[in-house]
């Protein structure tokens, strides 16, 4: 039986008695814990988007919207395949990892998503948007900052703004020149997901997040808040997926219908459900699918859960 003195001479015991060392270990454990909770919340936000209905042209638990190649189960497989990715990118964020490292994690996550969906692109925009926000949230947390939307956005731009701006141009070495988004950007002069990232996700911070709060403050429920935020996004965003499927005419229709819905009071209008369902049928008739707006809604749900919702005080502490 080793004596107490010989035990305390073991290297691990000696280190554990150094206050700085134990404090560092405690901090690392707490950051790892935070990243795991954040990742669970990111997956939950994707689920929050999927289960929303009515959602014009988009896949939900009710129907497949404008899609014949995917349904809700394709999305469930996809979001489940991303659970480790969100932990990994958050942990990279705590270290202030360079964008090149985040990009590699994003590319691996896209590959996992495509394996899970048999080659269908369900969440490419979300891998990018929610991934970058997880990295920024985790970076804020590692620096001991308050998790406010302003701090998260500023951190994102300070840490990765230059690289995100450079990412607006295709990088032939990674073979991304042929994406639908870049083709649309070239033909219709719209920014899409890359520009959103470079500007620090203005649609999330300036449009969707305030709209979620406005609807909740008006006393309406979370479903209404998500519907209003989605319509507000569709009214403002240059969604490359809409341009890809419907060209300029499709994009104008999406914006006009969404603006009209919001001008009529959104979910504050007594007939909102019928109006939103009519819009859904119209988008399906024209095969329009605002997938970019759907991803941005999920990103806003994530930011709301972490930075605004009091139930997540544990994540903020």
Ligand X SMILES: CC(C)(COP(=O)(O)OP(=O)(O)OC[C@H]1O[C@@H](n2cnc3c(N)ncnc32)[C@H](O[C@H]2O[C@H](COP(=O)(O)OP(=O)(O)OP(=O)(O)O)[C@@H](O)[C@H]2O)[C@@H]1O)[C@@H](O)C(=O)NCCC(=O)NCCS
Ligand Y SMILES: Nc1ncnc2[nH]cnc12
Provide the minimum distance between the beta carbon of 280 and ligand Y in the complex, in angstroms, as a whole number. Answer: 11
Closer to ligand Y by Cβ: residue 34 or 261: 261
Does 238 help bind ligand X (rule: CB under 6 A)? yes
Does 196 help bind ligand X (rule: CB under 6 A)? yes
Which two three-digit tokens encode residue 163?
């690289």
Does 123 help bind ligand X (rule: CB under 6 A)? yes
Does 181 help bind ligand X (rule: CB under 6 A)? yes
DSSP state of 174: G
Instruction: Name, in order, each residue with C-beta under 8 angstroms of 148's C-beta and a sequence gap of 6 or more.
Output: 307
Q: What is the DSSP string of 282-308?
A: HHHHTT---HHHHHHHHHHHHHIIIII
Does 229 help bind ligand X (rule: CB under 6 A)? no
Closer to ligand X by Cβ: residue 90 or 212: 90
Mapping DSSP onto H, E and C, the string for 232-274 reads HHHHHCCCHHHHHHHHHHHHHHHHHHHHHHHHCCHHHCCCHHH
Residues at the contact surface with ligand Y, assessed by CB under 6 A? 49-50, 58-59, 65, 67, 289, 291, 294-295
DSSP state of 124: H
Provide the minimum distance between the beta carbon of 77 and ligand Y in the complex, in angstroms, as a whole number. Answer: 13
Closer to ligand X by Cβ: residue 54 or 181: 181
Q: How far apart are CA 260 and CA 263, in angstroms?
A: 5
CA-CA distances (angstroms) from residue 169 to 176, 200, 210, 211, 296? 10, 16, 30, 31, 21
Element (H, E) at 309: none
Closer to ligand X by Cβ: residue 181 or 266: 181
Judged by CB under 6 A, the residue of 179, 215, 267, 275 near ligand X is 179
Residue whose beta carbon is closest to ligand X: 181
Closer to ligand X by Cβ: residue 124 or 257: 124
DSSP state of 63: -
Judged by CB under 6 A, the residue of 31, 50, 237, 298 near ligand X is 237
Q: How far apart are CA 14 and CA 245, in angstroms?
A: 64
Using CB under 6 A as the criterion, what x/- string covers residues 86-105 for binding ligand X? ----------------xx--
Does 128 help bind ligand X (rule: CB under 6 A)? yes
Nearest alpha carbon to residue 99 among 194, 33, 208, 238: 194
Residues at the site binding ligand X, with contacts judged by CB under 6 A? 102-103, 106-107, 121-129, 131-132, 176, 179-182, 192-194, 196, 237-241, 244-245, 289, 291-292, 295-296
């Amino acid at each position: 039986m080793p004596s107490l003195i010989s035990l305390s001479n073991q290297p691990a015991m000696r280190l554990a008695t150094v206050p700085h060392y134990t404090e560092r270990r405690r901090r690392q454990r707490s950051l790892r814990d935070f990243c795991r909770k954040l990742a669970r919340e990111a997956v939950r936000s994707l689920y929050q988007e999927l289960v929303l209905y009515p959602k014009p042209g988009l896949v939900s638990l009710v129907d497949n919207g404008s899609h014949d190649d995917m349904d809700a189960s394709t999305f469930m497989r996809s979001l489940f395949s991303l659970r480790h990715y969100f932990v990994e990118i958050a942990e990279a964020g705590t270290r202030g990892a360079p964008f090149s490292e985040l990009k590699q994690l994003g590319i691996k996550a896209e590959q996992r998503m495509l394996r899970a969906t048999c080659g269908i692109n369900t969440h490419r925009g979300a891998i990018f948007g929610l991934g970058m926000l997880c990295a920024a949230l985790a970076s804020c947390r590692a620096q001991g900052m308050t998790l406010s939307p302003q701090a998260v956005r500023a951190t994102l731009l300070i840490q990765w703004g230059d690289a995100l701006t450079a990412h607006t141009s295709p990088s032939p070495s990674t073979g991304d020149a042929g994406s639908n988004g870049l083709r649309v950007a070239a033909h219709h002069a719209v920014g899409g997901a890359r520009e959103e990232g470079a500007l620090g996700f203005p649609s999330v911070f300036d449009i969707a997040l305030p709209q979620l709060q406005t609807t909740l403050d008006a006393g309406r429920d979370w479903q209404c808040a998500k519907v209003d935020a989605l319509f507000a996004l569709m009214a403002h965003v240059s969604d490359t997926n809409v341009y890809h499927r419907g060209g300029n005419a499709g994009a104008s229709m999406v914006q006009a219908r969404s603006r009209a819905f919001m001008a009529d009071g959104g979910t504050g209008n007594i007939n909102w459900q019928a109006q939103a369902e009519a819009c859904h049928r119209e988008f399906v008739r024209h095969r329009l699918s605002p997938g970019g707006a759907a991803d941005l809604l999920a990103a806003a749900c994530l930011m709301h859960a972490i930075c605004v919702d009091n139930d997540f005080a544990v994540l903020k502490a």
